[in-house]
Structure 1
Amino acid sequence: MKRTALALGLAAGAAAASALASSLLAEAQSRAHPPKGRLVPVEGGTVHLVDRGPEGGAPGAPILLLHGASANSGDMMMAIGDQLAQRRRVIAVDRPGHGWTDRIGERAASSPAAQARTIRAALAAVGVDRAVVVGHSWSGSLATALALDHPDIVSGLVLLAGATHPWMGGVAWYNRAASDKRFATLFNYTVATPVTALALDAGVRAVFAPNEPPPGYAERTAARLLLRPAEFQANAEDLFDLNDYLKVQSRRYAEIRVPTSILHGEADKIVSPVIHSVAIHRQIAGSHLTLLPGIGHMPHHAANEVVLAEIERVAGQASLAAAAE
C-alpha cells in the first residue's frame, strides 16, 4: 500500500510539475508573439486577421489567405502575403482556435463548414463582400467549403497542397490523444506542450521536406503558439475530424464554378497530390492543375514565384468575370 501511495504521489507530482511547465511555456509564447493584426468581433468570439495592401487602395477583389494545420496567419504572410500586399489588398486569417482567433463553436469548430461561417462573418465585419480565396493544406477543405456554401463571396479559388478528400490511415497518435474528450485536457496540459517544444524544429523540417525551411521559420511565423495547450487541442481536433467531414463535402466539388487553380508538390509526403489535388481537378470544370516536381508540402514557400503567378492569374480571371456581370 505504501509503495502504491508513493507511486501515485510521484505520478501526481510529475503531472503537476509538467502542467506548471506547460502553462509557463504557453504564457511565454503568448507574450513573445502578440497579435500582429486586427481582433474582429463576430458572433461567438473574436477573429484575428492581418489586413494589408498598398497605400491608396488596390484594384480587384482582395486576396484571402487561409493557413494549414499547426500554423497561423504568419505562415501565409511570410510566404506570399507580404509580396501580394504590395499590389493587392490581402487578408490573412487565423482559423478558429489558432493564433489569436477564439475557438468559436468549441468542438463543432473542427468542421470546415463551421469555420467557413466564421470567416464569412469576419470578412463582412471588415467590409469585404468578395475575395479570391487561397487555402493551404487543411484549408483546402476550408477554401472549398467557402466556395460551396458561400459562393457569393468567392470570386476565385487557389488550392495549395490542399486536403480535399478522405484518405486512408487516420492521423498521428498524439492528435488522437489530444482530441479525445476522455483525457484530452490531461494530455494537452501535461504531455503535449513539452513534447511539442522538443519536436517542433524537427516537425518543421519534415513538413518542408525535401525542401529546406526558410531561416528562422518558427520564430518568424509564430509557429510556437502551437505549444499552448488549447491551440494544440484545437489543431488536433481539426485534423482528427477532417476525414469524416470530407467524406461528405468531397461529393459536391462539381458545384464549384469560379476560376480555380490547384497547385501541389509531387514530392509531398504529408498530403497526397493524387488523392487530393488530382481528384478535385477532375471534379471542378475548367480548373487548372500544376504539379510541381521536387516540391514538398509547402509550395507557397518552395515554389513562391509559381504560386504568386497563379494567384495573379486567378485574380485576373475573377476581375474579368466580375466586369462581365
Structure 2
Amino acid sequence: MAMFWTSILVISGLYGFTLFLTRSVERRFPAHGDLTDVGGYRMHALHIERPESADLPAIVFIHGASGNLRDQSGAFLSALEGRAEMLFVDRPGHGWSERGGSRNAYPDAQARAIATLMDRKGIEDAIVVGHSFGGVIATAMALERPERVRGLLLLASPTHPWQGGVDFYYRLVTIPVIGRLFCELLVMPLGLVLAGPAVKRVFAPDLCADDYEENTAIPLVLRPRQFLANARDVVKLFDHIVITAPKYPAIKAPAVILSGLEDTVVSPLQHSVALAEEMDNAELVLLEGVGHKPDYVATGLCTAALEKLSGAPVDLEALKHAFERHRATTTRGKADNATDETSAQMPDMPSEPI
C-alpha cells in the first residue's frame, strides 16, 4: 500500500511540475503572429505583407521537426526585410497551431493545410522554403498543389528511404498510454536539460549562437501535446517518403537543393544528391564544412538561391565557392587562436542519422 501511495505522489508531482513548466514556457514564448481558420482548426503564422520595395515574389517558410516558425523567421526575416511578402508558418500541431485531427500527422495533409492558409492570406503562389522536415512538406505541396508553388528551396531535407529508423523516444511516445504518460510526466523536465546539447549537435560542426534556443522558442515543442504531434510526424515520415519518392520526377517547379556535406542528421548524399538526379529542373548546392543548418550558417547563399528562383541571373556555383573560401580562411584564423578548450566544446554527433 505504501508503494502505491508513493507512486501516486510521484506521478502527481511530475504531472504538476510539467503543467507548471508548460505554462511558464507559454508565458515566455507567446504567439506573435495570428491564428487563421483553415477548415475547422486554426493555424498560427507570421505574415509580412508585400512591401512597396519588394523585388522578390511571395515566400512561404516551413520549419522542420521539433521547431516552430521562429526558427525560419530568425534566419530569414531580417535578411529579406523589405524585399518580399513572407509567410512563416507553424505546422499543424506545432508552435501555436492547432493539430486539426490525426490526418495531419502526414506531410501531404500538412501541405494542403498550408496551401489553404495561403488562400486565406491572399497568396496565389510563392517560393516555398523548407528546412529539414519542412522540405518534405514543401515537396508534398509541389505534388499536391503545384499551382501554388513558384519554386522550391529545400534545405537539408530528407527525401528518400533510409536505414536505421528514428530515435527510440519518438516511437515510445506513440505507444498508447505509455507514450502519453511519458509526454505528460517526463518530456518537459528532461527536455529542458537536454535541449541545449541537442541543438549543438544539429549545428555541428558549427557552433550555434548562445541565444539561438531563446530566440527560436525551442522549449515550445516540449509541451505534451506538441511533443506528441512532433513524434507522430517523425514516425509517419518514412512511410510517406516510400510512397512519395517515386513521384519526384513529376515536380515541374524550379528547385534549389542546398545541403551541408557535414550534415550528420540528414545524409546529403542519400537525399539531396538523389533528389537532384530525379528532378529535371533542380540545381544542387553542396557546401563543404556545413552541417544541418545552412539556413543559419549560409543565409546569404540561401537568399541568393531565392533570387535565382525568382528569375534573377545568379551564379550559385560561383557564390558557393566564394562562401567556402571565406569559411576556410575564417576557420584557419580560428584554429590559429584556438585553445585546448576548443575540442571540449565540440558536440557529439547524432547516433542515428537519416
Distance 1:95 1:254 in 2: 26
Matched, 1:13 2:9: yes
Question: 1:128 aligns to what SS in structure 2?
Answer: coil
Name structure 1 gaps, 5 residues minimum. 319-325
**CA deviations over 1:283-319 (Å, ceiling 9, x no partner):** 110310001111000000011111111111112269x
- RMSD over aligned CA atoms reads 1.5
Matched, 1:159 2:154: yes
Q: CA deviation at 1:158?
A: 0.6
Equivalent residue number for residue 114 of structure 1: 109
Q: Mapping of 1:21-40 within 5 angstroms?
A: 21-40=17-36
Equivalent residue number for residue 307 of structure 1: 302
Matched, 1:298 2:293: yes
| Higher mean displacement: 274-283 or 51-60 | 51-60
Distance 1:110 1:103 in 2: 9
Distance 2:214 2:303 in 1: 23
Equivalent residue number for residue 322 of structure 1: none
Equivalent residue number for residue 186 of structure 1: 181
**CA deviations over 1:255-289 (Å, ceiling 9, x no partner):** 00111000000000001101110111011103100
Q: Mapping of 1:1-325 within 5 angstroms?
A: 5-53=1-49, 55-56=51-52, 58-105=54-101, 107-316=102-311
Whether the aligned pair in 1 keeps the contact of 2:125 and 2:148 (CA below 8 Å) is: yes
Whether the aligned pair in 1 keeps the contact of 2:51 and 2:83 (CA below 8 Å) is: no
- TM-score relative to the length of structure 1: 0.93
| Higher mean displacement: 10-19 or 177-186 | 177-186
Matched residue type, 2:307: E
Question: 1:84 aligns to what SS in structure 2?
Answer: coil
Whether the aligned pair in 2 keeps the contact of 1:57 and 1:89 (CA below 8 Å) is: no
Distance 1:131 1:248 in 2: 25
Whether the aligned pair in 1 keeps the contact of 2:255 and 2:309 (CA below 8 Å) is: yes
Whether the aligned pair in 2 keeps the contact of 1:137 and 1:162 (CA below 8 Å) is: yes
Which runs of structure 1 show a deviation greater than 6 angstroms over 4 or more consecutive aligned residues? none
Equivalent residue number for residue 321 of structure 1: none
| Count of matched residue pairs | 313
Matched residue type, 1:99: G
Distance 1:221 1:64 in 2: 18
Whether the aligned pair in 1 keeps the contact of 2:53 and 2:82 (CA below 8 Å) is: no
Name the CA shift for 1:298/1:284 in 2 (closer, same or farther; >3 Å): same
| Higher mean displacement: 260-269 or 33-42 | 33-42
Percent identical residues: 36
Q: CA deviation at 1:55?
A: 3.8
